[in-house]
């Protein structure tokens, strides 16, 4: 307070105290003395007249004020009442009408506050205050309707860009059972659903920008009139319906955890893909834009923007999180691993967005639930990964695989591993605390490797957690294939089967991004392995047959030696015919491997045959020569096509 103001106030107080003291003295004198002089009586009469005049003036002022408030109230009441019987909306009637109505409502608010701040004694004054309250309440109800109307009728269309998913025909890896291991279609099932992990945040206008100021104006007026609760509830109701509609448009159904757990995998697989897309779109950009709209509407009203946003978004967010929770507690079947990884990645990618959107106390419950679901999905990924390894190890066969080709198990596992390579960063993060699992998950008697080829030596300390686990998977697969090869009675077919499958594994790694994970050492080792199996196949198939064509330097030119040579040649033809009949039914699907094995076989067989026939022709006789070298070479080109043929069939080709 300034010194001048202080002195003025002090002087005023001192004057009032003196006046009160004088009045008390006069009252005391009047009580003790009844005989006043004429002058005293005149002074007292003048004083009484002056006091009476002052009282009349004050009464007139109060009456004037009351009359003025009532008149003003009548004016605003008339304006507000004029819209009560009108079904049209004020905000559709033009800016002038909106301004007049808002002025009337603000006038009703001010009159109500003015009456509330006065000391009302008469019933007439109390009735006036009650009337003002009724007018204001009527206006607030109208503003609430107008608020909803502006929010609803000025919505901007929101159309997320379409994200294409693989067709059901391309889902063989995910939909195939670990028992049957799908079919050939898994070969091409290596593309992931499109998830942009680094897309820039952007805000879209969920309502037309021109009405933001109107929403803010209505909200401010309702809050200043102590109708903040009604305003918040109106906003939450409208925006929650919009958010529910958004989920509906994104094809997200309201499902209980029980509903999800009972669902067939084919159906659930499609729903997970929709959920991943919906989660991405719903949080970014939709919730980001929703938060911006809420901030703009309630920018001047404290924390109301946070409360309104959280209350509108809570139910839709929990609907999405409940679905993810149901997946996390459901089956750990291997075909679900990729989809669960998709869910984990999208939640992890949006974690910073969620923390920012629900940063306050009001949003803490959503933040906490989100983080818990993310953690449960991480645990599910780890468990499912280990279940996958166990399923490979325990996959048993009771009969040999027809044709010695690439087993369904090999195709399934290698294509699945190829899919997992796209999650390299995520799996390294989730498996980093389980580095020892890959080396310890196999028992000694389940590994096909010798001491020189032991898993422990293969896995260097520099390997990433994912590399360790994937190499463990391939080792388990090899052990299983080794057991399956023993179902063949023919030793040649055992080696042939292992050659086919190890070659397939090596090519899958070599010709894909898996090469960066497995590294060249693994590829070199498995190239050597399939080559060893190929040589073992050739020895088992042809060694005894080609021994019939060995040059015998002690042979004479007598009749006995001719008989022996002819018998050896005849035995060669019989054995060759049997190999032809049998091994045309065997199959090598890889063109390069098939060609390489044919060439390698042909070089050994044709050279031995030409040498034998060329040296022994005079002893054997031309009539005993069934095939020339070129014909044998053509016959060898029929091998490994997967369709059994016979040399005695003139239409073999």
Most confident of 61-70, 103-112, 453-462, 575-584: 575-584
Residue 459 has pLDDT above 90, yes or no: no
Q: Tell me the C-alpha distance between 321 and 275, whole Å.
A: 10
pLDDT > 80? residue 339: yes
Listed in sequence order, the residues at least 6 apart from 75 whose beta carbon sits closer than 8 Å to its beta carbon are: 104, 107
Scanning 282-423, the segments in alpha helix (DSSP H) are 288-297, 304-328, 337-349, 351-357, 364-394, 408-420
pLDDT digits (tens, 9 = 90+) for 574-583: 999 999 999 9
Share of the chain above pLDDT 70, in %: 76
For the segment 371-388, the average pLDDT, to the nearest whole number, is 93
Q: Please, which pLDDT band fits residue 39 given cuts at 50, 70 and 90?
A: low
Over residues 272-278, the mean pLDDT reads 95
pLDDT at 233 > cutoff 60: yes
Instruction: Calculate the alpha carbon distances from 415 to 344, 474, 475 in Å.
Output: 21, 12, 15
Look at residue 440 and tell me whether its pLDDT is greater than 90: no
Q: Report residue 277 as tokens.
A: 């897309």
Q: What does residue 587 show for φ and ψ, rounded to 5 degrees?
A: -135, 135
pLDDT tier, 216 (very low <50, low <70, confident <90, very high otherwise): very high
Could you tell me the pLDDT band of residue 15, with boundaries at 50, 70 and 90? low
Of 25 and 523, the structure prediction assigns the larger pLDDT to 523
Using pLDDT thresholds of 50, 70 and 90, give the confidence band for residue 642.
confident
pLDDT of residue 21: 67
**The predicted structure's pLDDT at residue 63:** 47
Query: 191 — phi, psi (to 5°)?
Result: -100, 140
Mean pLDDT value of segment 456-480: 80
The mean per-residue pLDDT over the stretch 592-607 comes to 94
CA distance 619 to 476: 56
Q: State the pLDDT at residue 134.
A: 87
pLDDT band at 9 (very low <50, low <70, confident <90, very high): very low
Q: What share of the chain is helix, strand, coil (3-state, %, to 5)?
A: 75, 0, 25
Model pLDDT, residue 55: 45
Indicate the pLDDT class of residue 110, thresholds 50, 70 and 90: confident
Task: Output the pLDDT for position 120.
Answer: 61
Predicted pLDDT at 27: 65
Does residue 53 register a pLDDT over 50?
Answer: no
User: Measured between alpha carbons, how far is 158 from 202 in angstroms, rounded to an integer?
Assistant: 13
Q: Please give the Cα distance from 289 to 160 (Å, whole number).
A: 13
Q: Is the pLDDT of residue 455 over 60?
A: no
Closest to 488 (Cα-Cα) out of 530, 416, 531, 541: 541
Q: What is the DSSP string of 28-79?
A: HHHHH-----HHHHHHHHHHHHHHHHHHHHHHHHHHHHHHHHHHHHHHHHHH
Assign 325 to helix, strand or coil.
helix
The pLDDT-based confidence of 561 (bands split at 50, 70, 90) is confident
Given a cut of 90, whether residue 68 has pLDDT beyond it is no
More confident residue, 188 or 138: 138
Q: 414 vs 191, 221, 269, 466, 540, CA distance in Å?
A: 14, 66, 21, 15, 28
Structure tokens that stand for 468 in this block = 């360790």
pLDDT of residue 52: 53
Using alpha carbons, list the distances in angstroms from residue 611 to 97, 549, 606, 621.
Answer: 111, 8, 8, 15
In this predicted model, which residue has the larger pLDDT, 181 or 537?
537
For 400-427, the pLDDT digits (tens) are: 999 999 999 999 999 999 999 999 999 9
Average pLDDT of the segment spanning 218-233 = 92
Tokens 């680094």 appear where? 198
Query: Could you tell me which of 291, 289, 288, 279 has the C-alpha nearest to residue 252?
Result: 279
Q: Looking at residue 305, what is its pLDDT?
A: 83
Would you give the DSSP letter of residue 286?
Answer: I
Local confidence band at 350 (pLDDT 50, 70, 90 cut-offs): very high
Distant-in-sequence, close-in-space partners of 275: CB < 8 Å, separation ≥ 6: 252, 320, 323, 324, 343
**412 against 82, higher pLDDT:** 412
Q: DSSP character for 551?
A: -
Question: Which pLDDT does position 201 carry in this prediction?
Answer: 54
Cβ-Cβ contacts under 8 Å for 251 (sequence gap 6 or more): 274, 278
Scored b (16 or more CB within 10 A) or e, 260-276 reads beebebeebbebbbbbb
Report the candidate in 530, 529, 537, 531 with the shortest Cα–Cα distance to residue 492.
537
Average pLDDT, the chain: 81
Average pLDDT over residues 485-509: 96
Report the pLDDT value the prediction gives residue 190, as an integer from 0 to 100. 34
Which whole number is the average pLDDT over 512-530?
Answer: 93
Please, which residues have CB within 8 angstroms of residue 164's CB and are 6 or more apart in sequence? Answer: 194
Express each pLDDT in 299-330 by its tens digit. 888 887 888 999 999 999 999 999 999 999 98
Q: What is the DSSP string of 146-160?
A: HHHHHHHHTBPP--P
pLDDT band at 511 (very low <50, low <70, confident <90, very high): very high
Residue 460 class from Cβ within 10 Å (0-12 exposed, 13-18 middle, 19+ buried)?
A: exposed
pLDDT of residue 169: 36
For residue 447, pLDDT beyond 50: no
């Amino acid at each position: 307070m300034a010194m001048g103001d202080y002195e003025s106030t002090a002087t005023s107080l001192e004057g009032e105290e003196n006046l009160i003291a004088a009045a008390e003295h006069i009252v005391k004198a009047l009580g003790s003395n009844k005989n006043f002089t004429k002058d005293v009586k005149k002074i007292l009469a003048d004083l009484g007249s002056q006091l009476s005049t002052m009282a009349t003036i004050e009464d007139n002022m109060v009456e004037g004020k009351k009359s003025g408030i009532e008149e003003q109230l009548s004016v605003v009441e008339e304006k507000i009442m004029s819209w009560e019987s009108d079904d049209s909306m004020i905000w559709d009637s033009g800016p002038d009408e909106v301004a007049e109505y808002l002025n009337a409502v603000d006038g009703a608010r001010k009159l109500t506050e003015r009456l509330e701040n006065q000391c009302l004694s008469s019933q007439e004054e109390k009735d006036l205050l009650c009337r003002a309250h009724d007018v204001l309440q009527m206006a607030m109800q109208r503003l609430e309707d107008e608020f909803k109307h502006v929010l609803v009728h000025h919505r901007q269309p929101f159309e997320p860009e379409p994200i294409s998913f693989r067709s059901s025909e391309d889902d063989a890896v995910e939909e195939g059972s670990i028992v049957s291991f799908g079919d050939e279609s898994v070969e091409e099932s290596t593309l992931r659903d499109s998830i942009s992990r680094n897309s820039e945040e952007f805000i879209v206008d969920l309502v037309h920008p021109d009405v933001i100021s109107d929403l803010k104006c209505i909200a401010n007026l309702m809050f200043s009139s102590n109708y903040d609760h009604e305003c918040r509830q109106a906003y939450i109701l409208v925006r929650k319906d919009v958010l529910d509609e958004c989920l509906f448009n994104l094809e997200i159904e309201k499902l209980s955890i029980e509903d999800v757990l009972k669902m067939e995998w084919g159906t659930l697989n499609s729903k997970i893909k929709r959920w991943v897309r919906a989660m991405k779109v719903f949080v970014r950009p939709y919730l980001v834009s929703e938060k911006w709209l809420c901030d703009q509407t309630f920018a001047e009203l404290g924390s109301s923007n946070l409360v309104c946003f959280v209350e509108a978004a809570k139910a839709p967010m929990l609907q999405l999180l409940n679905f993810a929770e149901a997946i996390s507690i459901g089956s750990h079947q291997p075909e679900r691993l990729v989809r669960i990884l998709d869910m984990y990645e999208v939640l992890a990618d949006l974690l910073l967005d969620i923390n920012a959107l629900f940063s306050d106390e009001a949003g803490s419950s959503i933040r906490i639930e989100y983080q818990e679901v993310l953690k449960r999905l991480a645990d599910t990924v780890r468990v499912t990964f280990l279940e996958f390894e166990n399923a490979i190890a325990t996959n048993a066969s009771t009969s040999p695989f027809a044709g010695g080709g690439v087993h369904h198990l090999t195709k399934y596992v290698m294509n699945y591993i190829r899919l997992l390579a796209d999650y390299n960063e995520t799996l390294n993060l989730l498996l980093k605390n389980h580095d020892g699992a890959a080396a310890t998950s196999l028992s000694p008697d389940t590994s096909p490797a010798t001491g020189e080829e032991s898993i422990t030596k293969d896995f260097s300390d520099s390997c990433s957690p994912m590399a360790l686990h994937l190499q463990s998977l391939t080792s388990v697969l090899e052990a299983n294939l080794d057991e399956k090869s023993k179902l063949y009675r023919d030793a040649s077919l055992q080696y042939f089967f292992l050659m086919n499958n190890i070659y397939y594994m090596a090519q899958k790694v070599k010709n894909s991004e898996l090469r960066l994970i497995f590294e060249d050492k693994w590829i070199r080792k498995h190239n050597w392995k399939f080559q060893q199996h190929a040589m073992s196949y050739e020895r088992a198939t042809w060694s005894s047959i080609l021994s019939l064509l060995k040059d015998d330097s002690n042979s004479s030119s007598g009749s006995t030696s001719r008989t022996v040579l002819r018998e050896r040649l005849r035995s060669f033809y019989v054995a060759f015919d049997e190999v032809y009949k049998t091994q045309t039914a065997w199959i090598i699907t890889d063109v390069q491997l098939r060609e390489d094995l044919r060439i390698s076989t042909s070089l050994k067989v044709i050279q031995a045959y030409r040498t034998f026939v060329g040296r022994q022709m005079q002893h054997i006789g031309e009539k005993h020569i069934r095939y020339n070298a070129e014909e044998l070479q053509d016959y060898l080109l029929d091998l490994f096509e997967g369709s059994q043929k016979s040399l005695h069939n003139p239409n073999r080709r």
